[in-house]
Structure 1
Amino acid sequence: MAIEVSRRNLIKALATAGIVSQFVPLNAFAQPMAKPLYIDGLSFLPDDLADLSASKLDAYLCDISAIEAIEQADGTTNYKRTYNACVKSISDALTRVNANPDKLLLGKSTSDISLAHDTGRTAVIFQIQGADCVEESIDSDLNQVDEFYQRGLRVLQLTHHYGNKFSGGALDNDGKQGLNLPLTAAGHQLIDKLNHSKMLIDVSHSSPQSALDTAKASRVPIVQSHGAVRAIVNHARCSPDEVIKAIADTGGLFGVFMMTFWLTNDRVPTAEHYLAHLKHVANIGGIDAVAIANDYPLRGHKNLIKLGNNNAEGVKEYIEWWHSLRARGVLGFDIEPEHVVIPELNNIDRMEHIDSALSSAGFSSSDRNKIMGGNWQRVLTQVLG
């Protein structure tokens, strides 16, 4: 009859006989190191689901919102996520997730992230970029938040570029270097509702003052899922150090994204420019506040990929919008953009490239694990459960 010997007993027996120490490396019986979690702060459901496994992502915040283009009084355009548009878009996204259970998993809690990691799938945590989808009056119970939660939403961004009834926007302006509007009374009500509903609050695109107010008002960690550092690029869309610190003080995190006209004013963007923002966030908020974000499709910026990452050509699609904000005197738009992407990161292997760059830059394995996904897992655990 065969006798089963456990790995621990085998090692003990070999050690007693002196075999392990004489002939076998001490780590020979160690389990292979599991791949660290890769979690991205913002992307979208891909056209080709093969991109999910190719990206190596275990999970990501997935923007499922739909927009309506609305012209502002000052001639600029705001892209609002309205209630009707987002109800349809979240239903469509959920249908697609449910139709592909071998590849996708709806991320409702961090247990779903662990399950996706263990089963080779990708957890998508539904996010809407702008609370315009909550159209109820401020004296209501904000039941639309509950409705979106039941449909699978777990992350709500307060606004997108321009302010709304809840929050000031990063690009709000009066022609004099912009406005720094605070969180409104309705915004405070929304923060309470989101805290109670166990939904993560995202202050990306908020004005600095609204972000500071949100950090003070929230009872749980908040995030800026995707952004950049104003100390490096002096631009309205980039966050001052006090905002980064305030987010970190909530136990939250700051995700650095791939839009290079907000990462550097140098003519040629490189991975070093991206690392500079990660390092700055770590210096201001601590290593537990640093995270990765994309803000493009999993495979990268589609048009730039078609152009072979020719930034000089690719940036042209942004010039008209950029100049419209320049005409209003918004901070940072006086500098002409020359690029859109970091070519070496504008591809499906982005996360592995960043991980390798962090290693080359001297980050420890434990710090890299936090940056590449561990910090996201921690925050999502604290907020979503």
Structure 2
Amino acid sequence: MTALSKTLRLAAATVFAFSLASSPAIAQTAEQSAEAALRAAPVWDGHNDVPIQIRARARNVLADFDFADTTGTADPENDRGAMHTDLARLRTGKVGAQFWSVWVSTDLPEAEAVTAVLEQIDITKRLVARYPQLELATSSDDVAKAMRAGKVASLIGMEGGHSIANSLAVLRQMHDLGARYMTLTHSKNTAWADSATDEPVHGGLTDFGRDVVREMQRIGMLVDLSHVSEESMLDALDVARAPVIFSHSGARAVASHPRNVPDSVLARLPANGGIVMAVTLPAYVSDEVRDWSARKDAEEARLKALNTGNAAAAKAALEAWEAANPVPRATLAQLADHIDHIVEVAGIGHVGLGADFDGMSSTTEGIDDVAGYPALFAELARRGYSQADLRKISSGNMMRVMRMAERHAASEKGTAPVEYPVGHLDDD
């Protein structure tokens, strides 16, 4: 082919491509763009609390629990709304992979917490086994296989380091049972790590806490830094040799809750390779919601003091205050603002989704349950995110993170386990 022929063919191809891109019949709406992205890369969500809902509502008995449709599960008598998750809505929401959280209360003594988490791992596995639409996954290859089959890859994430009772042996056994991440703390400090929502006592991670991070990465368990203090985040990043995750957190610059990730940490994510999975819990999304909650708490304390010995009067007065001061709602736009900020500081390769559905009593407007992800992706498309960007946010980034963590663990095969004597923290 002559040089002239090549030039003419290139010009013709350019004109054709331009005509397609500019044709009204071909142009995609934001909703169509979201649909295309989620069809190519279904959502991989970092945190869902269905297992604790089964524990609270059904005492871990599946016989009378129908996961096909949970829209009718409201329980006003026990102050529980309907669940946010079921098989039908997972399909509508284009969810292809889910970390199911095996959380138990930090109020439990640590030995009891270990038992309770084992029960939660068991109920998660039994739930997955009961429904062919779900498939247990313990590796990135498992996730990819389940997604190709149109199933929801189901992974297990432990929420709270209290669940290992200060024992690396317990940690290793939890990994053997299928747990693929552990959040270092929940709402309270552990003996080796400070929480974001407790008074700091360690100044971040202790030496043992740093070894927890090392051992997690040695065996291929993702280090989850949601819920930990800023100092603990930074200490973990100092030690980490594989990507960390924030399974359900926002950007603190957008909403100032201490559970969110500060810019000092976001700026370090590119070097680490980690990911912040944007949360939808309203107080983490919106400062207006958080401010309202603080004002309500203050008013409740004031009314109780004014009505000592008359709980009914205090309750009635608080209800009147709430009627006159309705709670604001976090919005889909505010949630997208968190994603924008994470991308601005850390980059498009370091953001994902971790909604925290079934772990909250209220939701962000526009994404009220697991069926709402397409609406969020349409909002992102309207903001100019490309198809490639949307696919990274939905699951591409999380797949990269897990594969990198697995490669690191493979490189550590010859490294001996970190050892501590039984009861080592009791000696302090």
- Compute the TM-score of the two structures, normalised by the length of structure 2: 0.66
For 2:100, the equivalent position in structure 1 comes to: 62
- What amino acid is the match of 1:127? G
The answer to whether the aligner puts 1:368 opposite 2:390 as a matched pair is yes
Identity, in percent, stands at 24
For 1:17, the equivalent position in structure 2 comes to: none
Is the CA contact 2:114–2:164 (under 8 Å) kept in the aligned structure 1? yes
Distance 1:56 1:227 in 2: 21
Is the CA contact 2:106–2:186 (under 8 Å) kept in the aligned structure 1? no
Unaligned runs of 5+ in 1: 1-21, 72-78, 304-339
Distance 1:80 1:368 in 2: 42
For 2:232, the equivalent position in structure 1 comes to: 210
Give, in angstroms, the shift of residue 291 of structure 1: 1.0
Distance 2:368 2:171 in 1: 34
Distance 1:283 1:199 in 2: 28
Question: Larger deviation: 271-280 or 44-53?
Answer: 44-53
Question: Larger deviation: 47-56 or 238-247?
Answer: 47-56
Is the CA contact 2:106–2:187 (under 8 Å) kept in the aligned structure 1? no
Distance 1:94 1:241 in 2: 37
The answer to whether the aligner puts 1:383 opposite 2:405 as a matched pair is yes
Distance 1:180 1:271 in 2: 37
For 1:91, the equivalent position in structure 2 comes to: 122
Give, in angstroms, the shift of residue 85 of structure 1: 0.8
Give, in angstroms, the shift of residue 233 of structure 1: 2.2
Of 347, 350, 354 in structure 2, the residue corresponding to residue 286 of structure 1 is: 347
Alignment of 1:162-173 (within 5 A): 162-173=188-199
Of 325, 328, 337 in structure 2, the residue corresponding to residue 276 of structure 1 is: 337
Of 85, 93, 106 in structure 1, the residue corresponding to residue 136 of structure 2 is: 106
- Equivalenced residues, count: 306
Give, in angstroms, the shift of residue 166 of structure 1: 2.5
CA deviation digits over 1:317-364, x for unaligned, max 9?
xxxxxxxxxxxxxxxxxxxxxxx4222111332211111111011111
Is the CA contact 2:275–2:397 (under 8 Å) kept in the aligned structure 1? yes
CA deviation digits over 1:220-262, x for unaligned, max 9?
0001111122212223222210112223421000111011222
Is the CA contact 2:111–2:165 (under 8 Å) kept in the aligned structure 1? no
For 1:186, the equivalent position in structure 2 comes to: 208
Change (3 A) 1:117 1:153: same
Change (3 A) 1:44 1:235: closer
Give, in angstroms, the shift of residue 69 of structure 1: 3.0
Distance 2:201 2:255 in 1: 18
* RMSD, aligned CA: 2.9
- What amino acid is the match of 2:133? K
The answer to whether the aligner puts 1:229 opposite 2:255 as a matched pair is no
Of 147, 151, 164 in structure 2, the residue corresponding to residue 117 of structure 1 is: 147
Change (3 A) 1:349 1:166: same
The answer to whether the aligner puts 1:296 opposite 2:357 as a matched pair is yes
Change (3 A) 1:133 1:265: closer
For 2:280, the equivalent position in structure 1 comes to: 258
For 2:181, the equivalent position in structure 1 comes to: 155
Unaligned runs of 5+ in 2: 1-15, 22-35, 52-66, 69-86, 289-327, 408-428
Alignment of 1:293-372 (within 5 A): 293-297=354-358, 340-372=362-394
Is the CA contact 2:227–2:259 (under 8 Å) kept in the aligned structure 1? yes
Give, in angstroms, the shift of residue 87 of structure 1: 1.2
Is the CA contact 1:155–1:200 (under 8 Å) kept in the aligned structure 2? yes
- Which of the two has greater helix per residue? 2
Is the CA contact 1:65–1:81 (under 8 Å) kept in the aligned structure 2? no
